[in-house]
């Protein structure tokens, strides 16, 4: 198991497909700060609220020199439906083998109604233009999260 990432670490590289099947890497965002948020599942209540909150502050994030990227274990068809349904203006990446989620330490054993399963623990990473971690939010509570992230971006 890799050590937990801390602020100041180099962000693990990613190279996974977005909702159109186009491969996305951190280099696609050269010179920008990246808000990389990991969420458990498309079109579920918490994930929908979180994604819509990010959608609603997107213009402010862009003005602060940032870009938003969502990641879940869902496939691109699921992402396309989710984006269309809620008018999400940013890419959603498909981490179907959980390799990126594992690299960021957000793929965890979870427990729901006594059933154990593996999935994404809601987490957000702010990556600076040099590719270093500027802020890390783990076990995210959705309410107010987009504003917290905006503050970290502007810091």
Residues serving a catalytic function are: 47
Q: What is the DSSP letter of 146?
A: H
Phi first, then psi: give them for residue 44, nearest 5 degrees.
-110, 160
State how beta strands 123-127 and 133-137 pair.
antiparallel
Q: Helix, strand, coil % (nearest 5) of the chain?
A: 30, 30, 40
């Amino acid at each position: 198991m890799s050590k937990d990432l801390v602020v100041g670490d180099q962000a693990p590289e990613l190279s996974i497909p977005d909702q159109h099947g186009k491969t996305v890497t951190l280099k696609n965002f050269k010179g920008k700060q990246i808000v990389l948020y990991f969420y458990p599942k498309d079109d579920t209540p918490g994930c929908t609220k979180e994604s819509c909150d990010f959608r609603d502050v997107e213009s402010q994030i862009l003005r602060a020199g940032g870009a938003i990227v969502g990641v879940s274990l869902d496939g691109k068809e699921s992402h396309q439906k989710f984006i269309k349904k809620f008018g999400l203006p940013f890419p959603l990446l498909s981490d179907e083998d959980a390799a990126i989620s594992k690299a960021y330490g957000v793929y965890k054993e979870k427990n729901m109604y006594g059933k154990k399963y593996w999935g994404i623990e809601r987490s957000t990473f702010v990556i600076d233009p040099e590719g270093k971690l500027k802020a890390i939010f783990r076990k995210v509570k959705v309410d107010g999260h987009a504003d917290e992230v905006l503050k970290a971006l502007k810091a």
